[in-house]
Structure 1
């Protein structure tokens, strides 16, 4: 648990331009995850939240082992491989220019090019990564806030996930939607809606509970936590969601907990954990999820101070 890092104010209008820019940039290296074996819900495509930014998993493709680290606090991207490394600056410019620089560096290191240039999950993004010539400004202060939001939320969501005994991919950033995701799978197959895009249908092949963090959107401009249960059960109206100010929004199909509300609590970290627990409780009570998939929260090396579960 992070004990000494302040919970900063995160305002959608202030961060939206930079969030849009970084979202496009991380899709360049994010495309490599699509070459990996499929894990339910695309659980293995997430970017890790690191001490300096966002980082891909380790890839082993075309005889090269590599990672790509978007160091938001440093304003650069570090490509590390078994054949060498390259550092690319993150600065004011176009996504297309970055894409060209990235592909040139990848070629020098013997890496394959990213397999796609499609910009996904960004409304209104009609051009590809290699044809997005819009000049965008690099804002160092906004980059720090983006990292801080992801970092604090990831810390809390990792605490929430720890006692779950079922399948749970690591907590990380979905580079398409640019949201932090923590998902619990039940191991029960579902039938995805046929009118959804293929990649969405692939993400809905099992029942799951998802709790995450988002910087908002034009339709929902509040920065904060979100959660939902798939398939969506009846009976979510009028429930308590663990934190005063968290509420069910039926039109969006989401339970939302604004960042401003989290910051105002006595313990923001614990507030997010309580929010996640309340969402799982709702899955148990309204959708028949098994309560025994969640064990006690042992406190690591201090587990001797944690009461054991009763037989």
Structure 2
């Protein structure tokens, strides 16, 4: 692994079996967070945050009946570590585990820590085997430690890119977070506009898109998009969005009821300035979307994380956000 490479290579096919197993591991623990987290707007309580060694849930549990705990994937020790505010923890190995054995170990570990968790639907979400309970999945059992660590390295670097992009916006914005259901790393910028949806729209979608949002993110690829890809979209999509030009190599593609902008990770990775190329892509979609949707972008701008105009005047900012 090249420690100085801004965006390390990770072709989807090189680690697909590990990815498919790890995605299901992430969903198991993500459903624990969904069950035991304190609900936050847009589902922010059940996502993962990046650490220097892997992913972690936010603190889970209640002040009323505890314990407070967190679940952390460590891609250097290759364990899931469940630790409580009472100073005790359990570790569950990631290698040599099927989804079934991992699920059993997680539920046993939680019980051993005095944490009572019942998952209402202990099945994969929106995956080909969604009808099969986790406890019956002995097919997904691949975990290559080197590839898992390399994938985390990609997440770590992309997370820094998304944090840098986030630092230019002073409005309502999500953390940089890993959504375990779709396995994408993303950050969302919101306006105050409330979105009316038909009563038939499911509760997950209603909460995720209850406000107008511009999302920027990355996924490793899947059957529909078979390569690592940066993406960005605005929901609801304003008229004329796909007429706006994107940086070289990026394109608008149909997605759901609208479109998303895709920029292949490898195009950014092989450019002279990989980080700058990714930032230019994200900014181009935000600039187009926010203008067409009528956002006050000038009021919301926040170069370098500074909102005070006196402090801002003392700094010079890069060319890419213009």
TM-score, normalized by the shorter chain, greater than 0.5? yes
Equivalent residues of 1:191, 1:204 under 8 A apart: no
Aligned-residue offset at 1:193:
4.8
Q: In the alignment, is residue 112 of structure 1 matched against residue 116 of structure 2?
A: yes
Contact 2:98 2:138 in 1 (8 A): yes
- Map 1:18-37 to 2 at 5 A: 18-35=18-35, 36-37=37-38
| Gap change, CA 1:7 and 1:290, over 3 Å in 2 | same
Q: Match for residue 297 of structure 1?
A: 304
Range with greater deviation from structure 2 (92-101 or 123-132): 123-132
Distance 2:97 2:163 in 1: 35
Residue 79, structure 1, aligned to residue 105, structure 2: no
Q: Which residue of 2 aligns with 1:55?
A: 56
Rounded to whole Å, the distance in 2 between the matches of 1:17 and 1:196 is: 33
**1:6 CA displacement:** 4.1
Q: CA distance change for structure 1 residues 68 and 251 in 2, over 3 Å: closer, same or farther?
A: closer
Secondary structure of the residue that 2:61 maps to in structure 1? strand
Deviation at 1:49, TM superposition (A): 1.4
Mean alpha-carbon deviation: is it higher for 262-271 or for 207-216? Answer: 262-271
Is it true that 1:100 corresponds to 2:104 in the alignment?
Answer: yes
More off after superposition, 140-149 vs 212-221: 140-149
Contact 2:6–2:157 (Cα < 8 Å) also in 1: no
1:175 corresponds, among 175, 180, 194, to 180
Where in structure 2 are the equivalents of 1:222-241 lying within 5 Å?
222-241=227-246
CA distance in 2, matches of 1:282, 1:183: 15
CA shift at 1:196, angstroms? Answer: 4.1
Give the direction of change, closer, same or farther, for the CA distance of 1:22–1:205 in structure 2 (3 Å limit).
Answer: same
Deviation at 1:141, TM superposition (A): 2.1
Report how far residue 194 of structure 1 moved: 4.7
When structure 1 is superposed on structure 2, of 76-85 and 245-254 the one drifting more is: 245-254
CA distance in 2, matches of 1:204, 1:274: 25
Write the distance in 1 (CA, Å) between the matches of 2:33 and 2:189: 20
Q: Report the counterpart of residue 282 of structure 2 in structure 1.
A: 276
C-alpha displacement at 1:285, in angstroms?
Answer: 2.2
Q: What is the aligned partner in structure 1 of residue 133 from structure 2?
A: 128
Unpaired runs of at least 5, structure 1: none
Residues 122-179 of structure 1: CA deviation (Å, up to 9, x unaligned):
2333212222222512111220221022111110001111131211121010011110
Residue 165 of structure 1 corresponds to which residue in structure 2? 170
Match of residue 188, structure 1, among 184, 188, 193: 193
Moved more, 179-188 or 38-47: 38-47
Secondary structure at the aligned position of 1:60 is classed as coil
CA 1:133–1:184 in structure 2 vs 1: closer, same or farther (change >3 Å)?
Answer: same
Q: TM-score of the superposition, structure 1-length normalised?
A: 0.90
Aligned equivalents of 2:187, 2:305: Cα separation in 1 = 19
